[in-house]
Structure 1
């Protein structure tokens, strides 16, 4: 196998590489090659792709059942926390796996991530109340944050750049397949066996992934290996990890509390939610200062936020927001407005979702020539924009076949956009910086995903509340309106038991609110598209020569 330095789109980072950095690059490359040869590449990829499939499956299976679980426990207003609790811990721990794996080793971190993920899934399946379930979803997210991140990092260690696109496309196919299986089967599994089996079914697969990780993935050799064990722990940025976790958790609570208290006035100035927002802002500001001055391995090194890299991270945030707002709002529309069951809503999403891995495969094949990355990024975002626009033309009378067709562009676009943002960012840095760069990109994308789920859930609650207070006035009393709003936050299935006149108003209110969410995703997609067009990545002839010289030094 050829294992070589990622030549990338932007060679700026290589134009002044020191002899020590070249030596480190050479050592890392030879170390990666060594253990990749000892363990057959097929076995390594089997271990990695098992984790990747699980991550895709788990990320979507709750999309079609969280409403059902909320109805069972009669607390729909916090049911979105089944998803967001996972996302917030997953988001918080994702960047930690980058710097931690540089210090403690890839296999050690992957073993930890797999084990915690399996434990969390088991706990979810054994939960008897909503609070316990949400807590165990948060535990699952601690492990889930490392599944895709570490798989991507290990592949960056051992796969040459000209083949990375193909391997990444396989990874995307498995993520997409897992997502399709999760989204389409969640409702059916819950209906036939109970929602707990949506989590329990993941346990044996996760255990198998844990065993394969231990057997086939080795800890890479790094410059830190020459240090004493105690010095390794000193390299871990504990302060940054705590501040980042606090900042993101507070941010999530702000979004959820703001949505659950929607009603009177503008919800986001509610004192309770405002307090969480202020804690989040303060924590993240202090986190940024700590990262700039820390002597430990920074979770997000300051140089990752320079120039074009910053634009790619912002694009990552927007596409994460749009993708998850799309994924988690569609089932709500089909269940509340379309009258579908959870299983039917999942089936509606199944066929279009197969287009996501197809988009990833297209991207992987096209990326053999890395100069195509800017065009791929722009094309993918354009398709996501088109797909979100298409939803605005869906209504209750839209034929089923047309629903499928209108949902296809966004899924293909996501399949192209996610890996193209990843490689547009990664290829700007040397292999020594790949782990932290991968984690940084995934962090910004995941923050977007969190806002896409929690933020849009809050927005729907706000708009439904205002619409019902306006349009039900004179039909039922104000007290009855308040009571209805309270009940809808707990259980949307009661809509079918309302009088025809009130039911019609409620359904139209949800339809308007969900369309407003998609109007927002259209705007954000457009901003991301403009950024992708304006982000120009240049490489001078001198920089290319420097890259080629360094490549010759370390290739084998």
Structure 2
């Protein structure tokens, strides 16, 4: 296998495993005397990469329709959202690190590490006997999960020629979206038929197969040179990574405590919750300082944060929040308000959710004309806004076919918006800054996803608490309402066993809380839409050579 290299400076290197423009006879001569694996090396590598990206999408959403079920089983619903947020925190924190780690240590070692940790975490989740062990193993899974898509994209840039990368990346996007859709829609069915543990155990053999393929066929990048001793570790921003992990983790603990306090009917946060909030703020401030002064390769270089690009990063945060608040609040609505089982809720989301990869495909085809990018960004966010508005018209009497139609716009919008925000950010920088720019956008979007899960859970608990105190004041004492709130924070399935007049108030309170989340999402979508219109001028004014260079080297 031959590799060709083209360079535009020390940080702008692109590798290709496909020699330029070989004719049929020359290609046949290259493969003479080679074994089947050598002849089909690209296919075997892509099998490992596509397995990884599918699992990344599948695992990131598998808990969408079962976290409530798991919380009910362990009688601890108030922290059930941590099953997802623990994964998102570690995945978000470690995702930007795999780029610098793989540059220093090599692609093969890092990919083997990420795959192995991911498989180990899934196995640990399936063997967990309490919710705290499950949350811990979800965090372990996220450490490996952070490298699945990142390293797949990096390896593709090493082995696929620039003119063909778009084709491979399109398949990758479809598999990520398909995995996410299958995870969100099948989780409830798997849990109902086999038990929720199999939602994690089913991923283990698939992950092991991907790990074996990656270990056997993925090689280090062509320009990789082994640096012995401590010098190679000096290039990695460990202090920044540590502060980022501490900051995000403390932030999530604060949100969970706020949700727990709301679920118990408490109006004031205790000093421990506020301590985590201050720790989060302090850690993230120190992280920003370290990124500006470190001699290592920073996770988020300070030159990326400033000027017109800030609006794209804010859009990335908002659309991440809206997408995950939508994804994790809908099952709660169908299970608590509509009275569906976890399996039924998953099936209601299945077909509309398949529109997310369709949106990504629309984006991929449309991006052949780069002048369409501003319209795609605006159109994608507008569809997310419209989709969240559509939810407000869903009620128990809404026909099934109409519910299906009302859930489609937000999913298509997400499929268009995610890659268009990435390209809008990348177009602001030269080619040699693409890797760090990509990491920055992914980080802001992932933080938005974390807030979308934890923040929406806290808001629902708060509004439910207020609704019950107001609606039950003539039906129950304050002490009885407080006990009910505690029971609901542990297990929502008790709603079906309540007296009809109390059950109606509880369901109405949950409906109000869920509508509150969607109203917040509508507001954030509207802000993102305004920012996208503002960013349109900045996108269209970029230099033509930067856009052309990105088209050759970067795919979404």
TM-score (norm 1): 0.90
Distance in 1 separating the partners of 2:317 and 2:549: 35
Which residue pairs with 1:210 in the alignment?
A: 211
Q: Which runs of 5+ in 2 are unaligned?
A: 21-29, 31-37
Residues 324 and 545 (structure 1), Cα distance of their counterparts in 2 relative to 1, 3 Å cut: closer
Residues 509 and 264 (structure 1), Cα distance of their counterparts in 2 relative to 1, 3 Å cut: closer
Which residue pairs with 2:465 in the alignment?
A: 465
Which residue pairs with 1:293 in the alignment?
A: 293
Distance in 1 separating the partners of 2:413 and 2:404: 15
Which residue pairs with 2:156 in the alignment?
A: 155
Residues 551 and 394 (structure 1), Cα distance of their counterparts in 2 relative to 1, 3 Å cut: closer
Superposed, 1:264-413 pairs within 5 Å as 266-267=267-268, 269-413=269-413
Residues 545 and 206 (structure 1), Cα distance of their counterparts in 2 relative to 1, 3 Å cut: closer
Which residue pairs with 1:506 in the alignment?
A: 506
8 A Cα contact 1:153 1:435, kept in partner:
no
Distance in 2 separating the partners of 1:73 and 1:525: 35
Per-residue CA deviation, residues 498-544 of structure 1 (Å, 9 max, x unaligned), is 00000000000000110010000001011111111111335779x54
- 1:260 equivalent in alignment to 2:260: yes
Per-residue CA deviation, residues 152-178 of structure 1 (Å, 9 max, x unaligned), is 233344555665444333222111211
8 A Cα contact 2:114 2:144, kept in partner:
yes
Which residue pairs with 1:11 in the alignment?
A: none
Shift, 1:94, TM fit: 1.1
8 A Cα contact 1:22 1:550, kept in partner:
no
Distance in 2 separating the partners of 1:425 and 1:155: 21
Per-residue CA deviation, residues 435-486 of structure 1 (Å, 9 max, x unaligned), is 3322222111110000000000011001100110111001011111111000
SS in 2 for 1:368: coil
Per-residue CA deviation, residues 371-403 of structure 1 (Å, 9 max, x unaligned), is 222211111111111100100111111111111
Residues 292 and 23 (structure 1), Cα distance of their counterparts in 2 relative to 1, 3 Å cut: closer
Which residue pairs with 1:24 in the alignment?
A: 10
Residues 546 and 352 (structure 1), Cα distance of their counterparts in 2 relative to 1, 3 Å cut: closer
Which residue pairs with 1:111 in the alignment?
A: 112
Residues 447 and 315 (structure 1), Cα distance of their counterparts in 2 relative to 1, 3 Å cut: same
8 A Cα contact 1:464 1:509, kept in partner:
yes
Distance in 2 separating the partners of 1:407 and 1:546: 37
8 A Cα contact 1:31 1:221, kept in partner:
no
SS in 2 for 1:29: strand
Shift, 1:219, TM fit: 1.8
Per-residue CA deviation, residues 268-291 of structure 1 (Å, 9 max, x unaligned), is x43221111100000000010000
- 1:41 equivalent in alignment to 2:27: no
Superposed, 1:511-522 pairs within 5 Å as 511-522=511-522
Residues 494 and 549 (structure 1), Cα distance of their counterparts in 2 relative to 1, 3 Å cut: closer
TM-score (norm 2): 0.90
SS in 1 for 2:187: helix
8 A Cα contact 1:258 1:458, kept in partner:
yes
Distance in 1 separating the partners of 2:53 and 2:280: 30
8 A Cα contact 2:99 2:151, kept in partner:
yes
8 A Cα contact 1:98 1:299, kept in partner:
no
Stretch deviating more after TM superposition (89-98 or 352-361): 89-98
Which residue pairs with 1:139 in the alignment?
A: 140
Distance in 2 separating the partners of 1:182 and 1:546: 37
SS in 1 for 2:232: helix
Distance in 2 separating the partners of 1:474 and 1:506: 14
Which residue pairs with 1:10 in the alignment?
A: none
Residues 245 and 90 (structure 1), Cα distance of their counterparts in 2 relative to 1, 3 Å cut: same
SS in 2 for 1:537: helix
Per-residue CA deviation, residues 319-377 of structure 1 (Å, 9 max, x unaligned), is 11000000000000000000000000000000101101111111111111222222111
8 A Cα contact 2:5 2:15, kept in partner:
no
8 A Cα contact 2:391 2:406, kept in partner:
yes
Shift, 1:22, TM fit: 2.5
Residues 34 and 125 (structure 1), Cα distance of their counterparts in 2 relative to 1, 3 Å cut: farther
Shift, 1:298, TM fit: 0.5
Which residue pairs with 2:195 in the alignment?
A: 194
Shift, 1:312, TM fit: 1.7
Per-residue CA deviation, residues 101-131 of structure 1 (Å, 9 max, x unaligned), is 2222222222111110000000001111111
Superposed, 1:398-547 pairs within 5 Å as 398-535=398-535, 536-537=537-538, 543-544=543-544
Residues 546 and 521 (structure 1), Cα distance of their counterparts in 2 relative to 1, 3 Å cut: closer
SS in 1 for 2:396: coil
Distance in 2 separating the partners of 1:317 and 1:230: 36
Which residue pairs with 1:13 in the alignment?
A: none
8 A Cα contact 1:166 1:361, kept in partner:
no
Distance in 2 separating the partners of 1:346 and 1:476: 35
Shift, 1:25, TM fit: 5.9
Which residue pairs with 1:172 in the alignment?
A: 173
